């Protein structure tokens, strides 16, 4: 290994209060350690930027440990092996794993890295989108959490986003009627045009009452599966449209990742509708990801599943790119090009 090679790492140096700001991070440059037996060095080409990272920056118990101050921000990356002391990961092999926003990541024992085949997808970045965590989430959370049946109505919030756009399309494949909620007329156009939603609702500028009205108008027969990515008033409005025995999948609550929790008012609807509300966390499905990969890759390759990726360039742009997830200016799966 070149002793002079430096690794740029986008590190968390202070815990954000509310929306993250530049002073919470620092771009470190560190020398790379020599490889031990079994290890390999991955040159990260792309890093996935996910809303969940905001939670990992807080010092509180969650489904993964908090990012330690001084450590690079944890991220799923895809890259190419450039040095190796592990025969299963030869130089030139593409691989994807839970690493960090950094130029190079060490792979090997105790690290979660999978070899990937760029020819099985349209672009290697698909391993961070439709054939990555958001794809697996859409697939398992909808099909197992929501249990959609043909003819049912599925309401999706955050519907134009990475998870939401896939959920809508998979629900359509299962024969459901789909209603998407997103921010702004341009995103609502994309719901109808690009993701096959049957109806689109722009939540921006609507009071909770107006939102409830809009959902009831779009779903006159009620909602059987409510797929929640956003939370707050949008979830509350959706609860009022549930059908008997509806399933509410709590996949994400992005509206509250930088603020205090919203006091949900309409949970009583779960009682009177005999409805089920269930949280979803992808980590429970890691042993089953092998089931989803070929299905999702096949759908993408055959053009049955449209995947939009928003790629921003440069590790120095990690923060502004990440913040797009919270102001809604991302147009698809948010990805950072590092190499």
Ligand X SMILES: NC(=O)c1ccc[n+]([C@@H]2O[C@H](COP(=O)([O-])OP(=O)(O)OC[C@H]3O[C@@H](n4cnc5c(N)ncnc54)[C@H](OP(=O)(O)O)[C@@H]3O)[C@@H](O)[C@H]2O)c1
Q: Where on the chain is the footprint of ligand X (CB under 6 A)? A: 50-52, 133-134, 137, 158, 160-164, 182-183, 187, 229-230, 251-252, 254-255, 280-282, 325-326, 328, 330
Least CB distance to ligand X at residue 41 (A):
28
Compare residues 92 and 261 and give the one whose CB is closer to ligand X: 261
Please, which residues have CB within 8 angstroms of residue 121's CB and are 6 or more apart in sequence? Answer: 127, 130, 131, 297, 300, 301
Least CB distance to ligand X at residue 68 (A):
21
Compare residues 109 and 261 and give the one whose CB is closer to ligand X: 261
Compare residues 72 and 132 and give the one whose CB is closer to ligand X: 132
Least CB distance to ligand X at residue 271 (A):
25
Least CB distance to ligand X at residue 67 (A):
16
The CA distances from residue 285 to 93, 128, 282, in Å, are: 26, 17, 5
Least CB distance to ligand X at residue 161 (A):
2
Least CB distance to ligand X at residue 160 (A):
5
Burial of 29 (0-12, 13-18, 19+ CB in 10 A): exposed
Compare residues 57 and 163 and give the one whose CB is closer to ligand X: 163
Least CB distance to ligand X at residue 326 (A):
5
Compare residues 12 and 106 and give the one whose CB is closer to ligand X: 12
In angstroms, the CA 336 to CA 318 distance is 7
Compare residues 81 and 181 and give the one whose CB is closer to ligand X: 181
Three-state SS across the chain?
A: CCCCCEEEEEEECCCCCCCCCHHHEEEEEEECCCCCCCCEEEEEEEEECCCHHHHHCCCCCCCCCCCCCCCECEEEEEEEEEEECCCCCCCCCEEEEEEECECEEEECCCCCEEECCHHHCCCHHHHHCCCCHHHHHHHHHHHHHHCCCCCCEEEEECCCCHHHHHHHHHHHHCCCEEEEEECCHHHHHHHHHCCCCCEEEECCCCCHHHHHHHHHHHCCCCEEEEEECCCCHHHHHHHCCEEEEEEEEECCCHHHCCCCCCCCCCCHHHHHCCCEEEECCHHHHHHHHHHHHHHHHHHHHCCCCCCCEEEEECHHHHHHHHHHHHHCCCCCEEEEECC
Least CB distance to ligand X at residue 190 (A):
10
Compare residues 57 and 106 and give the one whose CB is closer to ligand X: 57
Compare residues 122 and 281 and give the one whose CB is closer to ligand X: 281
Least CB distance to ligand X at residue 66 (A):
16
In angstroms, the CA 59 to CA 57 distance is 7
Compare residues 81 and 289 and give the one whose CB is closer to ligand X: 289
């Amino acid at each position: 290994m070149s002793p002079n090679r430096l690794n740029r790492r986008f590190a968390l140096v202070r815990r954000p209060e509310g929306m993250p700001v530049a002073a919470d991070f620092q771009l470190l440059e560190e020398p790379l350690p020599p490889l031990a037996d079994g290890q390999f060095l991955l040159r990260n080409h792309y890093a996935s930027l996910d809303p969940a990272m905001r939670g990992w920056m807080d010092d509180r118990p969650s489904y993964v440990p908090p990012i330690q101050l001084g450590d690079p921000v944890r991220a799923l990356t895809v890259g190419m092996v450039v040095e190796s002391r592990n025969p299963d990961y030869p130089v030139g092999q593409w691989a994807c794993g839970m690493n960090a926003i950094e130029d190079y990541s060490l792979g090997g024992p105790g690290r979660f890295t999978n070899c990937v085949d760029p020819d099985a997808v349209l672009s290697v970045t698909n391993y961070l989108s439709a054939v990555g965590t958001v794809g697996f989430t859409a697939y398992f959370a909808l099909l197992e959490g929501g249990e959609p049946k043909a003819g049912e109505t599925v309401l999706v919030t955050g519907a134009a986003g990475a998870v939401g756009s896939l959920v809508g399309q998979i629900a359509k494949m299962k024969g459901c009627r789909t209603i998407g909620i997103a921010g702004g007329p341009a995103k609502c156009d994309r719901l109808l045009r690009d993701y096959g939603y049957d109806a689109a609702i722009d939540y921006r500028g609507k009071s909770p009452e107006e939102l409830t009205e809009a959902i009831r108008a779009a779903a006159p027969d009620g909602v059987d599966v409510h797929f929640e990515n956003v939370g707050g008033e949008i979830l509350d409005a959706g609860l009022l449209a549930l059908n008997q025995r509806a399933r509410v999948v709590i996949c994400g609550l992005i509206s509250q990742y930088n603020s205090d929790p919203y006091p949900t008012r309409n949970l009583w609807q779960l009682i009177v509708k005999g409805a089920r509300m269930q949280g979803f966390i992808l980590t429970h499905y890691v042993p089953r990801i092998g089931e989803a990969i070929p299905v999702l890759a096949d759908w993408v390759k055959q053009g049955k599943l449209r995947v939009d990726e928003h790629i921003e360039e440069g590790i120095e742009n990690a923060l502004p790119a990440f913040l797009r997830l919270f102001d809604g200016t991302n147009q698809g799966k948010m990805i950072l090009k590092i190499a």
